[in-house]
Each structure stands twice: as C-alpha cells, then as structure tokens.
Chain A
Amino acid sequence: MSSVDRFLELAPLAALDALDGQDLLDFREHLPGCAECQAELAAYEEVAGRMGASVGAVPPRPAVRDRVLASIGATVATPRPRRPAQRWWLAALATAAAAALALDLLATRAELERMRDRAAALERQVEQARHEVSQLRDELVEARSVRDLVARPESRLTSLAGLKPAPEARGRMIWNAATREAVLLASGLDRAPAGKAYEIWVIGPSGQPVPAGVFQPRPDGSAVVPLPQVEDTALPRTFAVTVEPAAGSASPTGPMVLAGAVS
C-alpha cells in the first residue's frame, strides 16, 4: 500500500487527538515532511472545531464577563475630581514615580506570562508522560497475561505455518481449554493492505470458523494478540489467520496467511 494513504487515513483521528501507540509515533514522524497530510489534518481540525458548536450556547453568569475583563486589566478606574494646581516639581516627581512603577509592573507582568507559558509547557510534558505510562501499563498487562497462560500446566501450544501469501510468517497459539484463554504470537507478517487487518479464527467441532479478534502487526512484523474467550477454544481443531476488512468479518473472506491444526 502507499504509505501516504495510511497517514491520510490517520488524519481524522489525529484531529481528535485520538491516535495513540505506534500510530501516534508514526504520524508525528511523518507529518512535518508531508504537505498533503498537513492539509488533510487542518481540514479535519476545522471539522473538529465546528463540532463544538453542536453543544449549543450556555451563557455563563454575568460575573464571569467582569472577571475576564478585570484579569486583563480592562477595568476603567473611576475618574477622580481634579485637584487645584500643585507645585510643578511635585507633579513631575509624581509622574516620574508613576512611570517607574508602570515599567516595574510591565516587567512583572512579562515575567508572569513567561512563568505561565513555562507552566503550560511543563503541564504538557506531564500529560505526555502520563500517556506513556498508561501505554506501558497496557503492555505489561499483555505480557502478564501471556506469562500466566504459559505458566499453567494444562496450557497447550499449537504451531501455525505461513501459507502461500505469507511464506515468511510464523505463529504459535498458546491456549487453555479449561479457561478458553488463548494468545497468538506471530512474526514475519507484512503490514496489512490499506483498510485491511489480520483476523484470527478458531475452528472447533462444528467446523465453522469463529472470529477471534482483529489485529495489526508491529512494524517489525511481530504481534502478540490475546484472544477473546470463545467457546470453541474448549475443543479447537484448527487456528487460522486471514486478511479481512479492518473492521473484521463474521466469516473468512480474504486469503489465509497462517494456519495450524491441533494435533
């Protein structure tokens, strides 16, 4: 598939800040060099911006307006009655003091703004770190589920061989008939074509393939996919992987890339 197509497909998700994981990393890396994707992203950001209008206006209390204007210093001071003419030097001194004070105030305000920007930048970094932690937590949960499954004495292993469309592909299914848990470990898979994904099938006594999850391999062609608990994992005969539309199919329609019979 053309790699630009993949990124064009990610643009609407990026506009909602909905990308994560590898998609997010790949998109960030690709975007600066691609005018087409930048234009696409800008168009979807406008759509996202307009979506906000759907909620309808809820006027805030009038006091909020005053608070906003006060916070930028827009309150108009009530004019004071004029004093009779004072000595000129007193006036000059007062003017100079006021000017110094105003300069001071300006500097303080600028300093405050810099600190605010810095705080905002730090807040963004914290947000990013929090995001990475949650990703790592997900990966840890995945790794633990594999480890636990492997550790159980009654878990079994079935090898899946790469078929004609993907001769390099290899797979191992670790499965447990008692708990219906299963994890697919695969390697040597190409990236699925645009709009497609790999779908796992469990074929039990009925001979009818049961869908057991859709996945995309990592960039290095590997994948670790915990399967949903399907009834046929109690007595599986065959495990298989086919290429299907990204949303998944109810029964296999695309070419089979991996298959393995339970001995």
Chain B
Amino acid sequence: MPESRAHGLLRRLARGEQAALGEFYDLYAGLVHGMAVRVLRDASEAEDVVQEVFVQVWRQAGRYDPGRGSPEAWVCTMARTRALDRLRRRVSRREEPSEAAPSPSGGPTPDTALAVRAALGSLSDEQRKAVELAYFEGLTQSEIARRLGEPLGTVKTRIRTGMMRLRETLT
C-alpha cells in the first residue's frame, strides 16, 4: 500500500502545496467514491461526497496524526461520515436515490481491499450483517436490534465479537 507516499503528500498538503492534492486525490478518489456509492447508492451524491472529502483533506491535512491511524483509514472515515450525514438527511426528507449507482470497477483491486473482504468473509453471517448495518447504514445498536428483531444484548455481542475478529485478522 502506498502509505509512505500518502504520508509525504499529507506533509506537503499541510504546508499548503496545492499540487499535492491532485496526487493525493489520484491515490484515494476511487476508495472514497466507492465508499460513498456503497452507502448512498447514488452516483451524483457520491461525487459530491468525493468533493467534500478532498476539500476537507486540503483544509485538515495539518491535523492528520499518523499515530491515530493510516491515511487510508482517515479518508475512509471522512467519506463514511459525510456519506452517512447525507443518508440521514435523505431519510429525514424521505428521498429516494435519483439514479442507479455504478458498480465497483473491474480494475485492479488493491491488496488491502482483498484482505479486508477476506476478513469480513471470515465472520459469521449474523456478525457481518450487524457490523455492516452499523458501518454502512449508520444504525445504532438499538436500531439494529429493532431492524433484525433480535434482543439488544445479542446484537451488541455480535458486533463486538465481529469487530474483535476483524481486528485480529487485519492488524
């Protein structure tokens, strides 16, 4: 993974080098867009998220702390937060997505994507479902319990054990 390159670009961005944003964009735009498409299932809204995230990267590069996590996790978290914000606003307005979302490209898949997919695949169906409802739909533990019609304690345990398993596999 081009992590050291991303660190270098973030340092340049923190110094205000505009050219570095283009390079950073080329590294992570697909990832950010993929995440936004997965959450929103709407191509034009997902592109708005891409724009918001990279403007945020530009403004907050100085605040990025390598000790707190990888650049990839950092941009993914931003993409998820922004996409979920839009999803919630849409739910509160009861809007439907305006057009069909593009599916993931058949292009080269980075090793991390495969590793993460394999890790998710190693969870039980119940664990994966609960973790994905929290992650991609932004539901809380009680909302997930209601959605699945399961006791809250059961849902909490599934999410916890699922995340523990992912942590063992991914770190």
Q: Provide the residues of chain B in CB contact with A195, threshold 8 Å.
A: 157
Q: Provide the residues of chain B in CB contact with A9, threshold 8 Å.
A: 160
Q: Is the CB of B131 within 8 A of A64?
A: no
Residue in contact with A18 in the complex, picked from B21, B77, B139, CB distance below 8 Å: B139
- Counting CB contacts under 8 A, is A3 at the interface? no
Mask of A1-44 contacts with B, CB within 8 angstroms, 1/0: 00000000100110111111101000000000000000000111
Q: Is the CB of A247 within 8 A of B167?
A: no
Mask of B130-143 contacts with A, CB within 8 angstroms, 1/0: 01001100111111
Q: Nearest-CB distance from A27 to chain B (Å)?
A: 12
Q: Provide the residues of chain A in CB contact with B131, threshold 8 Å.
A: 16, 51
Q: Is the CB of B30 within 8 A of A49?
A: no
Q: Is the CB of B51 within 8 A of A68?
A: yes
Mask of A46-57 contacts with B, CB within 8 angstroms, 1/0: 111111111111
Stretch at the interface among A69-77, A147-155, A164-172, A173-181: A69-77
Q: Is the CB of A56 within 8 A of B104?
A: yes
Q: Is the CB of A56 within 8 A of B29?
A: no
Interface centre among A57, A74, A197 (most CB of B within 10 A): A57
Known contacts A18-B141, A64-B50, A197-B153: does B72 contact A50 (CB below 8 Å)?
yes
Residue in contact with A54 in the complex, picked from B19, B113, B154, CB distance below 8 Å: B113
Q: Is the CB of A50 within 8 A of B120?
A: no
Q: Nearest-CB distance from B42 to chain A (Å)?
A: 12
Q: Is the CB of A57 within 8 A of B70?
A: no
Q: What is the CA–CA distance of A41 and B126 in the complex, to the nearest angstrom?
A: 23
Main secondary structure of the interface of B (DSSP, over half): helix
Known contacts A17-B140, A71-B51: does B33 contact A57 (CB below 8 Å)?
yes
Q: What is the CA–CA distance of A247 and B162 in the complex, to the nearest angstrom?
A: 14
Q: Is the CB of B51 within 8 A of A64?
A: yes
Q: Provide the residues of chain B in CB contact with A111, threshold 8 Å.
A: none
**CB closest chain-A residue, reference B106:** A56
Known contacts A18-B159, A57-B105, A64-B47: does B76 contact A72 (CB below 8 Å)?
no
Q: Is the CB of A52 within 8 A of B105?
A: no
Q: What is the CA–CA distance of A54 and B39 in the complex, to the nearest angstrom?
A: 13
**Interface residues on chain B, number (Cβ under 8 Å):** 73
- Counting CB contacts under 8 A, is B9 at the interface? no
Q: What is the CA–CA distance of A199 and B55 in the complex, to the nearest angstrom?
A: 50
Q: What is the CA–CA distance of A214 and B156 in the complex, to the nearest angstrom?
A: 12
- Counting CB contacts under 8 A, is B63 at the interface? no
- Counting CB contacts under 8 A, is B2 at the interface? no
> Within residues 237 to 262 of chain A, which ones have a CB less than 8 A from any CB in chain B?
246-248
Q: Is the CB of A74 within 8 A of B18?
A: yes
Residue in contact with A52 in the complex, picked from B31, B54, B157, B171, CB distance below 8 Å: B31
Q: Is the CB of A68 within 8 A of B154?
A: no
- Counting CB contacts under 8 A, is A231 at the interface? no
Residue in contact with B69 in the complex, picked from A49, A58, A67, A215, CB distance below 8 Å: A49
Mask of B37-67 contacts with A, CB within 8 angstroms, 1/0: 1100000001100110011001100000000
Q: Provide the residues of chain A in CB contact with B38, threshold 8 Å.
A: 55
Q: What is the CA–CA distance of A167 and B77 in the complex, to the nearest angstrom?
A: 48
Q: Nearest-CB distance from A200 to chain B (Å)?
A: 10
**Can you name 28 A-B residue pairings with CB atoms under 8 Å?**
A13-B159, A17-B138, A18-B144, A46-B69, A46-B73, A48-B135, A49-B70, A49-B72, A49-B77, A50-B70, A51-B120, A53-B110, A53-B116, A55-B113, A56-B105, A57-B30, A57-B107, A58-B102, A59-B33, A60-B30, A60-B33, A64-B33, A65-B29, A67-B51, A71-B55, A72-B21, A130-B88, A214-B151
B: which residues have CB within 8 A of A? 18-19, 21-22, 25-26, 29-31, 33-35, 37-38, 46-47, 50-51, 54-55, 58-59, 68-70, 72-74, 76-77, 79-80, 85, 88, 92, 102-105, 107, 109-110, 112-113, 116-117, 119-120, 131, 134-135, 138-144, 151-154, 156-160, 163-164, 166-167, 170-171
